[in-house]
Structure 1
Amino acid sequence: FALAEAPEPGEPLTAIVENGIKYNVDVENGQKTGFFLDQKYNRQAISKIAKGKHVLDCFTHTGAFALNAAACGAAAVTAVDISAEAVQMTDANASKNGLDKVVKGLKANVFDLLSELVNNKSQEYDFIILDPPAFTKSGSTVKNAIRGYKEINLKAMKLLPRGGYLATCSCSHFMKEELFVQMLHDAAADANVQLRQIEARQQSPDHPILWNVPETYYLKFYIFQVV
């Protein structure tokens, strides 16, 4: 990650470069700091298998996963977010990198969109990326979070053809790894698919995991192929 140029005083948009891709980041109005640096190497990981794929990037935020896929040769990328501002920023970032013919932003509720695609038996996508916000921010809501994670993963697995790829993650430390893994097993069983694990990953090393501070291990990231 590097600043592409110093922002003007009082200007909330900051130009950065990560993995060779340029972004405008809204540090004032965007989620958290406007950009999630902890996914840097996970974006590199998905880009390795994106060439020629038709990608559905869910909860795209500023389009980072979508742009990494497109820059490495994805045939087409649909970048979905419920926020109109996020979709506008994604489209602007796609144009900034000359990828606007490949990446198309779509304002939609991911849960509703996945349901619609499943109901229509869509065969449009062979690579789905699920990077949702934290579905739980306390121990008391973990059960509801598991249902949410399972719903989107189950539907994604139903949509993917044999040989298709799924990248899926949770950024909540309350969603312990064993819970996340069990949810994925249950979703695969209900979708009647088998998964081949390609990679199991975590947050970038500049977000260190301290073994005596469990809260620092929060990001679980898996890449699977449906077999």
Structure 2
Amino acid sequence: MGAQVQGVTLSARGAGRARAGHPWIFRADVESAPPGLPSGAEVRLADARGNFIARAFWAERSPIALRILSRRDEPLDEGFLRARVETAVARRRWLFPQADAFRAVHGEADLLPGYFVDRYGDLLAVQHLAEWAEVRRDVLARMAAEACGARGVVARDDGSSRDFELLPRRTEVLLGSGPMTASYHEGELLLQVDLLEDHKTGGYLDQRENHLRAGELARGEALDAFCYHGGFALQLARCATRVLAIDQDAAAVARTRENAARNGLTNVEVRAANAVEQLRALDKDGRKFDVVVLDPPAFAKRREGVAGALRAYKEINYRGVRLLAAGGVLITCSCSGKVTPQMFGEVIEWASQEAKRPLQLLERRGAARDHPSLVGVPETDYLKCWVLLAP
């Protein structure tokens, strides 16, 4: 990186965005930049008059040309990055002093935009969703492992977010050896993840607190559509009479069964099937449930997919409402960041009207506390988890 930090001039719009606290500057808002800046280069941002704005990292290819890390005129060196990582981990230990799994670093919210770390026992799963983090992946892995006391670090850079950044998809072990499987707890349940084979970074820790809340509300007959590894289903099973869990991923279904057996839960039926088709079939058969959980994968990852996503959300929520017994509870989720809370509310309102079932809104929940959103950065406020009751 060198001692000499080069300067980048922002447009008036870009300067305003940076001063408002947003960590992303798009390429269209770069007024001028030195030729040949390498990927991940540290730069000093200024407005057209030369007034200092922030320190940032440069991206050669991404539509987001700059990620801002500090509004102080200070070097973004290894000492700076290490302090950010250690501070983020310390916050999680304060929030969850007994937890053996949590998101240790949450990108933009922890002022390390584009870098994410999940801890599962003595292993870490990391994602590099910005060029600056990509070129520093080995250094960051060592920092994160030391801060968390981890024996291994797996990079899960195989998701679609890398496509937007024009980075290649890949999965690799950055640190450590041996099996990259870990056990961890959600409440009293013992779960297992394979960091090389499972989806994304393993266990969808952003839903952890919502899983536990669902368990508190469980009773009677329960349904968990899109169950993945059984995060909701297994918490429901601790208090419900019976639980039907559905996912079309055969590997996820097998893991749900393993997790149920590991915890002595014999009241869970797990089906490998298309959840949308199963919702229709259950509705046609007149089935009713005291608790219905809808936690689908992201139906819209880009703006152009929103219309189709809303149709899908309407379909599953309509079926979910129809499947509720009198006094039943619907826990419905969307992790599509492009689907705003207002849009999601309109979907649920439509489902209620179409199903001719009034709904009480009991709770509007979001991601767990180790996945905080950053005020003024709406892109970080992505997860909706609403709890409703059919009186």
Shared fold (TM-score greater than 0.5)?
yes
Q: Could you tell me which amino acid in structure 1 is paired with residue 348 of structure 2?
A: L
Aligned equivalents of 2:308, 2:121: Cα separation in 1: 43
**What is aligned with 1:36?**
204
Radius of gyration: which is bigger? 2
Report the AA paired with residue 284 of structure 2.
Answer: N
Match of 2:367 in 1: 203
- Listed one character per residue, the Cα deviations across residues 9-54 of structure 1 (whole Å, up to 9, x for unaligned) are 331321111212101111111110111111111112111110x321
Distance 1:130 1:2 in 2: 26
d(CA) in 2 for partners of 1:152, 1:10? 41
Out of 270, 285, 292, the position equivalent to 1:120 is 285
Q: Which shows bigger deviation, 203-212 or 5-14?
A: 5-14
Distance 1:78 1:12 in 2: 30
Q: Deviation above 4 Å: which 4+ runs of structure 1? A: 3-8
Determine whether 1:2 maps to 2:100. yes
2:185 is the alignment partner of 1:185:
no
Work out the CA distance in 2 between the residues paired with 1:109 and 1:151. 14
What letter matches 1:204 in structure 2? A
The whole-number CA distance in structure 1 between the counterparts of 2:228 and 2:252 is 5
Distance 1:178 1:5 in 2: 37
Identity of aligned residues (%): 36
TM-score (norm 1): 0.94
Equivalence map 1:116-195=2 (5 Å)? 116-123=281-288, 125-195=289-359
**1:139 & 1:5 partners in 2: Cα distance?**
36
2: CA distance, partners of 1:58 / 1:26? 22
| Rounded Cα–Cα distance in structure 2 between residues aligned with 1:70 and 1:26 | 23
| Equivalent of residue 192 in structure 2, options 13, 24, 43 | 24
In the alignment, structure 2 segments of 5+ residues that lack a partner are: 1-98, 102-119, 124-150, 152-176
Counterpart residue type for residue 182 of structure 2: T
Q: What does residue 113 of structure 2 align with?
A: none
Per-residue displacement from partner, 1:74-114 (whole Å, max 9, x unpaired)? 10111110011000000000011111x11121101011001
Could you tell me which of 267, 272, 284 is aligned with 1:107?
Answer: 272
Do the aligned partners of 2:190 and 2:263 also contact (CA within 8 Å) in 1?
A: yes
- Count residues with an aligned counterpart: 223
Q: State the partner residue of 1:221.
A: 385
Q: Among residues 88, 96, 107, which one is paired with 2:254 in the alignment?
A: 88
Task: Report the secondary structure of 1:161's partner residue.
Answer: strand
Partner-residue secondary structure (3-state), 1:162: strand
Letter in 2 for 1:97: N
- Report the residue type matching 1:93 in the other structure: N
Aligned amino acid, residue 198 of structure 1: L
Aligned partner letter, 2:257: D
Q: Secondary structure at the match of 2:305?
A: helix
The change in CA–CA distance for 1:215 and 1:5 in structure 2 (over 3 A counts) is closer
Which of the pair has the greater relative contact order for Cα pairs under 8 Å at 6+ separation?
Answer: 1
